[in-house]
Structure 1
Amino acid sequence: MATDAFEPHPIVRLLGKPAAEFTASDLVLAAEQLELRQVNLRYVGGDGRLKTLAFVVRSRDHLREVLVRGERVDGSSVFAGTDADASDVYVVPRHRTAFLNPFGERRSLDVLCSFYDEDGSPLSYAREQVVRRAAEALRAETGMTLEAFGELEYYLVGAADPIFPVEEERGYQESGPFSKGERIREQVLGHLAAMGVPLKYAHGEVGNILEGDRQLVQHEIELQPAPVEQAADHLVLAKWVVREVAAAHGLEATFAPSVSSGGAGTGLHMHSRLVRDGANAIVDEGGINDTGRSLVAGYLSAARALSAFGNRVPTSYLRFTDGDESPEGITWGEKDRTGLVRVPLAWGGDVLPGMVAHANPGSTEPVPEPSPHPQTVEFRLGDGSADVHLLLAGMAVAARRGLTDDGSLELAEKLRTSREDDVEQLPTSCAESADALEAERALFEADGVFPPELLDAVIADLRHADETTPSEALAEDGEARAELVRRYWHVG
């Protein structure tokens, strides 16, 4: 394969082959030529965070053994509720996920892993296995692949700049020196690109907050579409890199849903599309089509239950009540930002060539046509507390319902923002989300996608969070609320 000169992934450049074709032998060769002396096996735990198992490479045979066989780990320390007397599980590397670790004392080869039980079967409650089963069930029934990507919002927290102070609620796509953390954002982009995470862009977000001698400045990274199994991994890696880079600069990064009663919350909007035979199945020449509307209906029909995966802490519900653009009603619309699902602008019809010609008089170059078509639907439910693997798995389950239910088009028409005033609302607490998931659990358990014990754990965690939240902490301001925000400061 002739490697593109702009290819950012050093192992892809070295091997001259796409990451999807990596083998253990390829990675041994790469480690030898790049003089890597450590390999880290990475996996996503029950708390949704990235975990690490580090090996110092002793020989070529040792490296191959680690990359092929993986290792045994204590599942009871990784997944809450696992019995300690039967907790050994295996982690096996997925070679296509390999990347060079941009951090640490020495250069290392990092590989994401999948979990398997003592019989060698996929571990039913491991995050990557749940989203894989959900995607496979959708493909088997509809012949379509659900692709997704997230809009990852976060705040950088540090000392206030006395020379170019931030202006509150005026951070959207701001440039330096008024933009704060721009260099950090650039470093994050560079690392993620080199790790194989597909990126669209990054920019400053609206939220600028001044609190005494410190400033909280909001940023966003938008990724590119990938099958939901990969999209979930991309978001976990992105959060890890943001935190590492921020810490290296002496700043704190937070994905907390609510950081202040006076500022914008932190969302995690998920874009998605359905792809069949390499083509985007949700759009045609007239815009969003019946398949797209059925997808929207699926999301809306399961939205209350999906909040159990996308809004996992009490401050998630502060974001809903405080935010000007945070959704509350279960509706959808095209281009407007008030509904739970939005169909964003996607350069339809003959609009783009005219704009390009006007901006570049005399240019005769053809206008590129991306494939698949870039149209997506934006599900605006999630926030920084989301368990991204479970949320994307749940979205695949909801998509399957929307595509197979005869009433989906009728529901989509009913729930347009311009057609319905009295609409169902999203849950207002962790307890309500738990109740909604309990009511819909048969949908998620169908075909073994979500194990019952996993749903039990999610529901129990939500109810515990609700029970341990003082009622005064949900008031608009005050010390109790500040303590609640800080309790859920580092989530996801």
Structure 2
Amino acid sequence: MENHSFVIYANKLEAQLKKSSKEFTKADIMQLVQELDIKMVKFMYPAGDGRLKTLNFMLNSVEYLETILTSGERVDGSSLFSFIQASSSDLYVMPRFSTAFMDPFEEIPTLCMLCSFFNRDGQPLESAPEYTLRKAMKSFTDVTGMEFQAMGELEYYVISPEEDVFEATDQKGYHESAPFAKANDFRTRCMKLIAECGGQIKYGHSEVGTFFEEGKCFEQNEIEFLPVAANDCADQLLIAKWIIRNLAYLEGYDITFAPKITVGKAGSGMHIHMRIMKDGKNLMLDGNKLSENARRAIAGMMKLAESITAFGNKNPTSYFRLVPHQEAPTNVCWGMSNRSVLVRVPLGWTSGEDMCHKANPIEAETARDYSIKQTVEMRSPDASADVYQLLAGLCVACRHGFEIEDALEVADATFADGDIHDAKNAERYAKLAQLPDSCVASADCLERQRAVYEKYNVFSPAMIDGIIAELRKFDDRTLREELKNNEKGVFELVKRFYHCG
């Protein structure tokens, strides 16, 4: 009988070496350079503004390649992070071989790798966001014995000249198909490049936001990823944003991940799904019901929800998105399949029904365990976030739920099973805590709850101080009210943060 089994390597380098990128070694990188005739290497790393920075190396010998792979290079930390002083600014950047990918935009063959930061003593930089996330993951495992995994939803607007044919319906772009959705082909090209660079994509689609303004068409899109270790999730989101922007630039589109770009239209979030794993098993379910582990993790997020915005919503326009009736959360609560809450428990294939057989009667009925698919989704963050800090904060919050005695009571008290914005539910949900309405308010919340994040030396005091200082600089405590009927003022604010993150 013919064997039809096969292995798909979307990642070009995995296909070349026929092994997982998790197993890449220095020898593998040197082999790739030779086999693919690589002429240039790029070290890439996120700075305080959340964007990828680049250091280019033109290869001139095998010895030089071996040197940079082994020793890394020196960079000016004070130009990358606000919390590093110029008087002691030198940092090392060291490539992580598992993150290697081919640059899809360079004319000459170029190999890219994400880097970690190290201090003058050769130790990981305590305040580096990427290292903070690794510390958060370790503390979660140390406390719970489980692994914290995550996946991101990356929403963005594609802006192009308005066309007069097959005009889309305002704010009705959800899962729209061509020809009414004009940016679908661009999105699929982005997905192809992201996958070739190592991104584990779940799917992509057009989103709700569609509108027309001053001769331009604004189309909202989303690319969602598969659950992986939280640090891999952060790497993938960072690279995906870089790819989407670069491809847009080459093809003549304008792109924005900004949380809010106009009044009354859908803003863009960066929702994060999470699950708790042990020995390859998802512990979010107990049978077909949400497990105690999941409810404890949710309780931790409920307790720290207000300060999580300090990591996930980092400029004033973030808080113009977090308003009622825009499918964005405002209250600290959670619910099942409920998009008006802060933490949503999405459908998890828990019915036990064989839907494949029902849709395709000629298929034999089968029993399948779908528990691996269950996640919980935090809906407040947006792409202004430093994704490493955000995932570290969420990891700490989920860990916190296993450390507080009243976790299950907190989960019960914050559960919402109806539309929290419906007037008939107003009295019932009146006691729910509210998310902060400004950067300054988020900084205040982080100041009050910082001890939880600093526990186990996860977030360094210097990092927390730096985040609080940056948020307070915006001085936006009353800004949302001040710009309530000022479209010009809102436009100027949006313009300022149009390319955030």
TM-score by length of 1: 0.96
Name the counterpart of 1:457: 466
Cα distance in 2, alignment partners of residues 74 and 286 from structure 1 = 52
Cα distance in 1, alignment partners of residues 317 and 324 from structure 2 = 10
Q: 414-423 or 297-306, which moves further after superposition?
A: 414-423
Instruction: Compute the displacement of 1:342 (Å).
Output: 0.6
Residues 260-279 of structure 1 mapped to structure 2, 5 A cutoff: 260-279=262-281
Instruction: Compute the displacement of 1:369 (Å).
Output: 4.5
Q: What CA deviation, in whole Å up to 9, does each residue of 1:65-117 have, x standing for no partner? A: 22222111111111113121211111111111111111123221111110000
2:462 maps to amino acid: E
Name the counterpart of 2:499: 490
8 Å CA contact 1:261, 1:477 repeated in 2: no
2:149 maps to amino acid: E
Task: Tell me: CA distance 1:467–1:325, structure 2 relative to 1, closer, same or farther (3 Å).
Answer: closer
Cα distance in 1, alignment partners of residues 476 and 361 from structure 2 = 64
Identity %: 40
Name the counterpart of 1:319: 321
Task: Tell me: CA distance 1:216–1:345, structure 2 relative to 1, closer, same or farther (3 Å).
Answer: same
Name the counterpart of 1:394: 393
Instruction: Compute the displacement of 1:46 (Å).
Output: 1.5
| Aligned-partner SS, 1:264 | coil
Name the counterpart of 2:311: 309
Name the counterpart of 1:132: 134
**Alignment partner of 1:356 is 2:356:** yes
Name the counterpart of 2:433: 424
Cα distance in 2, alignment partners of residues 56 and 450 from structure 1 = 36
Task: Tell me: CA distance 1:285–1:114, structure 2 relative to 1, closer, same or farther (3 Å).
Answer: same
Cα distance in 1, alignment partners of residues 122 and 279 from structure 2 = 32
Q: 117-126 or 58-67, which moves further after superposition?
A: 58-67
Match of 2:346 among 339, 344, 353: 344
| Aligned-partner SS, 1:357 | helix
Instruction: Compute the displacement of 1:52 (Å).
Output: 0.7
| Aligned-partner SS, 2:205 | strand
Cα distance in 2, alignment partners of residues 68 and 345 from structure 1 = 46
1:149 maps to amino acid: M
Cα distance in 2, alignment partners of residues 342 and 204 from structure 1 = 21
Name the counterpart of 2:166: 164
Q: What CA deviation, in whole Å up to 9, does each residue of 1:137-188 have, x standing for no partner? A: 1111111111001111000112111222222111111111111211110111
8 Å CA contact 2:439, 2:477 repeated in 1: no
Instruction: Compute the displacement of 1:57 (Å).
Output: 1.0
1:9 maps to amino acid: N
Instruction: Compute the displacement of 1:368 (Å).
Output: 5.9
**Alignment partner of 1:51 is 2:22:** no
Question: Could you list the runs of 5+ residues in structure 2 that have no partner in the other structure?
Answer: 418-427
TM-score by length of 2: 0.94
| Aligned-partner SS, 1:113 | strand
Task: Tell me: CA distance 1:344–1:186, structure 2 relative to 1, closer, same or farther (3 Å).
Answer: same
Name the counterpart of 1:478: 487
Task: Tell me: CA distance 1:111–1:469, structure 2 relative to 1, closer, same or farther (3 Å).
Answer: farther
Name the counterpart of 2:84: 82
Cα distance in 2, alignment partners of residues 122 and 59 from structure 1 = 29
Instruction: Compute the displacement of 1:474 (Å).
Output: 2.5
| Aligned-partner SS, 2:317 | helix
Cα distance in 1, alignment partners of residues 301 and 493 from structure 2 = 30
Instruction: Compute the displacement of 1:473 (Å).
Output: 5.4
Match of 2:74 among 48, 60, 72: 72
8 Å CA contact 2:44, 2:52 repeated in 1: yes
Instruction: Compute the displacement of 1:366 (Å).
Output: 4.8
Task: Tell me: CA distance 1:323–1:188, structure 2 relative to 1, closer, same or farther (3 Å).
Answer: farther
Instruction: Compute the displacement of 1:420 (Å).
Output: 4.6
| Aligned-partner SS, 2:224 | strand
Task: Tell me: CA distance 1:470–1:293, structure 2 relative to 1, closer, same or farther (3 Å).
Answer: closer
1:442 maps to amino acid: A
**Alignment partner of 1:12 is 2:14:** yes
| Aligned-partner SS, 1:242 | helix
Residues 66-465 of structure 1 mapped to structure 2, 5 A cutoff: 66-321=68-323, 323-351=325-353, 353=354, 355-364=355-364, 366=366, 369=369, 373-418=372-417, 420-465=429-474
| Aligned-partner SS, 2:314 | coil
Cα distance in 1, alignment partners of residues 414 and 435 from structure 2 = 14
1:173 maps to amino acid: H
Cα distance in 2, alignment partners of residues 147 and 441 from structure 1 = 23
8 Å CA contact 1:192, 1:241 repeated in 2: yes
8 Å CA contact 1:309, 1:387 repeated in 2: yes
Task: Tell me: CA distance 1:210–1:34, structure 2 relative to 1, closer, same or farther (3 Å).
Answer: same
RMSD: 1.8
Q: 359-368 or 268-277, which moves further after superposition?
A: 359-368
Q: What CA deviation, in whole Å up to 9, does each residue of 1:6-54 have, x standing for no partner? A: 2111211121211111001111111111111111011111111111111
8 Å CA contact 1:3, 1:16 repeated in 2: no
Task: Tell me: CA distance 1:471–1:377, structure 2 relative to 1, closer, same or farther (3 Å).
Answer: closer
8 Å CA contact 2:439, 2:476 repeated in 1: no
Task: Tell me: CA distance 1:229–1:289, structure 2 relative to 1, closer, same or farther (3 Å).
Answer: same
8 Å CA contact 1:40, 1:54 repeated in 2: yes
Cα distance in 2, alignment partners of residues 469 and 104 from structure 1 = 45
Q: What CA deviation, in whole Å up to 9, does each residue of 1:114-133 have, x standing for no partner? A: 00000011101111111011
8 Å CA contact 1:273, 1:375 repeated in 2: yes
Instruction: Compute the displacement of 1:4 (Å).
Output: 4.4
Q: What CA deviation, in whole Å up to 9, does each residue of 1:217-249 have, x standing for no partner? A: 100000011111111111111111111111111
Cα distance in 1, alignment partners of residues 368 and 99 from structure 2 = 29
Q: What CA deviation, in whole Å up to 9, does each residue of 1:241-267 have, x standing for no partner? A: 111111111111101111110310111
1:282 maps to amino acid: M
Cα distance in 1, alignment partners of residues 384 and 433 from structure 2 = 23
Cα distance in 2, alignment partners of residues 365 and 449 from structure 1 = 48
